[in-house]
Structure 1
Amino acid sequence: MTRIHMNKAMGLLGGLLFFAACSIPPAVQKTPQTNTPASFAGSQDTVNSAQLNWRDYFKDPNLVALIDTALLHNQELNIMLQEIQVANNEIRIRKGEYLPFVNVRAGAGVEKVGRYTSQGANDANTEIKPGKEFPEPLGDLMVGVYASWEVDIWKKLHNAKKVAALKYLSTIEGRNFMVTHLVAEIANSYYELLALDNQLEILQQNIAIQQNALEIIRQEKQAARVTELAVKRFEAEVLKNQSQVYAIRQQIIETENRINFLVGRFPGPVARQSNQFNTALPEPIRTGVPSQLLVNRPDIRQAELELQANKLEVAIARANFYPSVSIVAGLGYRAFNPAYLFSTPESILYGLAGDLMAPLVNRNAIKANYANANAKQVQAVFNYERSILNGFIEVSNQLSKIENLKQGYALKDQQVAALAQSVAISGNLFKSARADYMEVLLTQRDVLEARMELVETRKEQLITLVNIYQALGGGWK
């Protein structure tokens, strides 16, 4: 081939490669909206309770001990830690891909070709040394070093390493987000357990009061002031509340076992101080400003890292349209006889080759991968925006709930006090024949329900303070 023909061939090849690289679909550009309101409900407080360590936020030593145990032994959290290790190993894999691959190779074999073949006839007329024929069968011994390297011109491999690093950081944020959920779930279950203990105590106290009332009704029946109907109605009320005791005890067992599962241990009693239920409020909450959610909440940071990774994956998919350059080299010794294997320079072999390759025809798979990468990048933008919006709404909801529960608890407390007085009043009126037994029965039922609802409201207050701490991004530090 003449130099002119060579130049034409190279020009044609270059034109084809240029054409292959130029007909690339445009990238989809979408920028996330990260603007947040200036404050929560007009508050100008910049102090944020999310900065508090959970040990400082929760004061109950039994609850702190449970969370400590869960962070060590919770199976789901430990599974996530292994996911982090897998992501870390992926970085090492990607880092090795843009470095040269060097392999040592050794081989041995023997070959006998037919004499009446072109190779056999040629070997028959060839002498290794004067007076010595070509050996038959022919041995083949080889030892050498081989290297291959894909030149990362378009930074495809470097970007793949960056994607792996971002996904590693994303798994860490995923672990932090799981920790916030675990801390909140244990705290909520713990406060639910305290509430059940207090409801059980209230129910048992009410049963004692109703049993005393039942004795009074029986005496009134003997005095012919009431009928057997009144006695049976009071007996039925006592039995109903006694059966409810077992329902609450079952709830206590199930709540204890839920906590035991979260801390990674088998069923057993959970240490607690139920008499501190009404004084178990955590630290007063400080919301800070909404923009702090972008830093404090692990799920928002995870979504941001995933967005960055998806942007790089678009660049990687785009690089597949461009030509790739590979270099292959080898150096070693090869001979048909061990005696000649390391003869220098006669047995030395070496090679150096370069490949330039670009997709030209049937690029549908590359185009589809590129379109998928663009779609996932847009999806990641929406997910990031959704995470920010969800975080703000969660905080806003919990703030409103704190205030409403505070007002509701105060009124419910007044209701319980009024009903407690009505029980004594109805009893006195009944003794003086100025009220019937149904008024006494309904008053006792109302005060029981009100006291149980008061405990429920206190539990909701505690759970709301846990949830807003989590919504602000607290619990993982």
Structure 2
Amino acid sequence: MYKFKIYQYIIALSICLFVVSCKTPEIAASNTSKTIPEAYENPSKDTINTAAIPWKNFFKDQNLVDLIDTALKNNQELMITLQEIEIAKNDIRMRKGALLPSVGIGAGAGVEKVGRYTSQGAGDATTEIKPGMEFPDPLTDYKLAAYAHWEVDIWKKLRNSKKAAVSRYLSTIEGKNFVITNLIAEVADSYYELLALDNQLQIVRQNIQLQTNALEIVKIQKESARATELAVQKFQAEVLSSKSKEFDILQDIKVTENRINFLLARYPQEIKRDNSNFLSLLPSAIQSGIPSQLLANRPDIKQAELELVAAKLDVKVARAEFYPSLDISGAIGLQAFKPSYLFQLPESLLYSLAGDLAGPLINRNAIKAEFKSANARQLQAMYNYERTILNAYLEVSNQLSKINNLEKSYDLKSQQVDALNRSIDISNDLFKSARVDYFEVLMTQRDALESKLELVETKKEQLNTVVHVYKELGGGWK
């Protein structure tokens, strides 16, 4: 009858724990929207997408392909990202292990001496193991046992925690893919910048030669009283200015080469390249496909989506903390006060089995705070996912527009360069016949130099924009 009442109390307490624990806060609504325009500004709905082209086929310059290949093997940032993947993989193993019982084995020995005039000491003194034998004093204890503990995952807390770890592991893989596509684009950007600087250096040196020749003519004209010392000094200053620009470009070339070497994780060395036909390079044709393909192609979008999945699971894990937890523990082994008795069965056999049901009842502020934080992190992940999609669409839209505008700009600048090249010859002839003064010759040469440098810069922008739109469509990592 007494035992029956105890069972009634235990059952009543368990019900109270369950009822109180079920009063949990509500999970914040997180209705993510994948709504995205059906097309870019161009109304075409052609699904052919340049992002599907492997990077080795997208880039035609073998020197650039070799540089990218080396970067993908050696780049330190990529190596760091790979270690993050390993960390996430180990986190999965840890969460998976929490689902299984933990089993251990141990051995121990000890000695205890209690006062004879105590309840335990008096009892031991009068207790006999066998007739005529008393407990040994002091009392030794030898134990060899296996222990087990298992938290029963009745609320799927541990399983959801493992699923969240899996999502974060997959997220790190997408993060690695995002690093790869950015790395490829960065190497290509720097390579084309290097080619542009080489061509600008060549243009400046040609201009120096042209200005030097004009200077010599002015000096001759001064001797024949057809020009003044002012004209000589003006032409001399222009030559010095161009030589100064030459060294500025040389420094930019060095910096750009070292930037590429850094991406390739190597110390400074010359970058192999062919800069002979830079202005005749044609940007690769781009097929943008449809915007919805960004969801599958862009690693940063997939990474944000997986982070959102993990955040939702974290909320479920935090909510499960309000519920009672069921722990089962047990042990089996051998125990005796003398080594010779340790393996005498069944006298030395020990075993135990216990189940504990416990849940938070009072002062649950810490659990509530963690639940609210998990809710907030879930909303953060949702907004980040939506922002990533919006940013991806706008990036592609900007680059597609830039391709069209740069193409028109390059055509106009080419015509400008041709016109100024002709004007240089005309101004030189007129200057020799004293029909224009030296100032017009100087301004014509200066304008021609600037227009040629701008033309090279526009060509570089064209090539880099194609690289950027390839990256922003989600190409490069496959």
Q: Provide TM-score, normalisation by structure 1.
A: 0.98
1:12 Cα deviation from its structure 2 partner = 3.1
Give, in whole Å, the separation in 1 of the partners of 2:279 and 2:415.
Answer: 16
Structure 1 residue identity aligned to 2:38: A
Give, in whole Å, the separation in 2 of the partners of 1:198 and 1:242.
Answer: 15
For residues 19-418 of structure 1, the aligned pairs below 5 Å read 19-41=19-41, 42-418=43-419
1:10 Cα deviation from its structure 2 partner = 3.1
Question: 1:16 aligns to what?
Answer: 16
Question: 2:2 aligns to what?
Answer: 2
Give, in whole Å, the separation in 1 of the partners of 2:357 and 2:133.
Answer: 45
Structure 2 residue identity aligned to 1:395: V
Does the 8 A contact of 2:189 with 2:467 survive in 1? yes
The more displaced of 136-145 and 198-207 is 136-145
1:380-428 Cα offsets, whole Å, 9 max, x none, are 1111100100000000000000000000000000000000000011111
Structure 1 residue identity aligned to 2:156: K
Give, in whole Å, the separation in 1 of the partners of 2:345 and 2:180.
Answer: 65
Give, in whole Å, the separation in 2 of the partners of 1:148 and 1:161.
Answer: 19
Structure 1 residue identity aligned to 2:35: N
Does the 8 A contact of 2:324 with 2:360 survive in 1? yes
Q: Percent identity?
A: 59
1:139 Cα deviation from its structure 2 partner = 1.2
Give, in whole Å, the separation in 1 of the partners of 2:10 and 2:97.
Answer: 32
Question: 1:422 aligns to what?
Answer: 423
Does the 8 A contact of 2:283 with 2:462 survive in 1? no
1:2 Cα deviation from its structure 2 partner = 2.4
Does the 8 A contact of 1:423 with 1:444 survive in 2? yes
1:7 Cα deviation from its structure 2 partner = 5.1
Structure 1 residue identity aligned to 2:154: I
Give, in whole Å, the separation in 2 of the partners of 1:323 and 1:44.
Answer: 55
1:85-111 Cα offsets, whole Å, 9 max, x none, are 010011100000010000001101111
SS of match in other structure, 2:203: helix
* Change in 2 beyond 3 A, CA 1:372/1:398: same
1:113 Cα deviation from its structure 2 partner = 1.4
Give, in whole Å, the separation in 2 of the partners of 1:51 and 1:408.
Answer: 29
Does the 8 A contact of 2:14 with 2:357 survive in 1? no
1:355 Cα deviation from its structure 2 partner = 0.2
Aligned CA RMSD, in angstroms, stands at 1.1
Give, in whole Å, the separation in 1 of the partners of 2:280 and 2:318.
Answer: 58
Give, in whole Å, the separation in 2 of the partners of 1:367 and 1:57.
Answer: 53
Structure 1 residue identity aligned to 2:181: T
Give, in whole Å, the separation in 1 of the partners of 2:95 and 2:308.
Answer: 19
1:328-355 Cα offsets, whole Å, 9 max, x none, are 0000000001111011100100000000
Structure 2 residue identity aligned to 1:56: N
1:117 Cα deviation from its structure 2 partner = 1.1
Give, in whole Å, the separation in 1 of the partners of 2:456 and 2:472.
Answer: 24
Give, in whole Å, the separation in 2 of the partners of 1:417 and 1:403.
Answer: 22
Structure 2 residue identity aligned to 1:462: L
- 4+ residue segments displaced more than 3 Å: 279-282
Does the 8 A contact of 1:60 with 1:280 survive in 2? no
- Aligned residues between the structures: 477
SS of match in other structure, 2:227: coil
Structure 1 residue identity aligned to 2:157: K
Structure 2 residue identity aligned to 1:59: K
Does the 8 A contact of 1:38 with 1:290 survive in 2? yes
Structure 1 residue identity aligned to 2:350: L
SS of match in other structure, 2:40: coil
Does the 8 A contact of 1:176 with 1:298 survive in 2? yes
1:241-292 Cα offsets, whole Å, 9 max, x none, are 0111111000000000000000000011100001132243443111000000
Unpaired runs of 5+ in structure 1? none
Structure 2 residue identity aligned to 1:40: Y
1:111-144 Cα offsets, whole Å, 9 max, x none, are 1111111111111112222222221111100001
Does the 8 A contact of 1:100 with 1:150 survive in 2? yes
Structure 1 residue identity aligned to 2:443: L
Give, in whole Å, the separation in 2 of the partners of 1:436 and 1:43.
Answer: 56
Structure 2 residue identity aligned to 1:99: L
Structure 1 residue identity aligned to 2:30: K
1:146 Cα deviation from its structure 2 partner = 0.6
1:229 Cα deviation from its structure 2 partner = 0.2
Structure 1 residue identity aligned to 2:202: E
Give, in whole Å, the separation in 2 of the partners of 1:337 and 1:408.
Answer: 97
Does the 8 A contact of 1:58 with 1:64 survive in 2? yes
Structure 1 residue identity aligned to 2:353: L
Give, in whole Å, the separation in 2 of the partners of 1:342 and 1:110.
Answer: 19
Structure 1 residue identity aligned to 2:420: L
Give, in whole Å, the separation in 2 of the partners of 1:147 and 1:18.
Answer: 26
1:325 Cα deviation from its structure 2 partner = 0.2
Does the 8 A contact of 1:58 with 1:282 survive in 2? no
Does the 8 A contact of 2:145 with 2:332 survive in 1? yes
Give, in whole Å, the separation in 2 of the partners of 1:14 and 1:346.
Answer: 36
1:11 Cα deviation from its structure 2 partner = 4.6
Does the 8 A contact of 1:140 with 1:334 survive in 2? yes
* Change in 2 beyond 3 A, CA 1:132/1:3: closer
Question: 1:439 aligns to what?
Answer: 440
Does the 8 A contact of 1:59 with 1:282 survive in 2? no
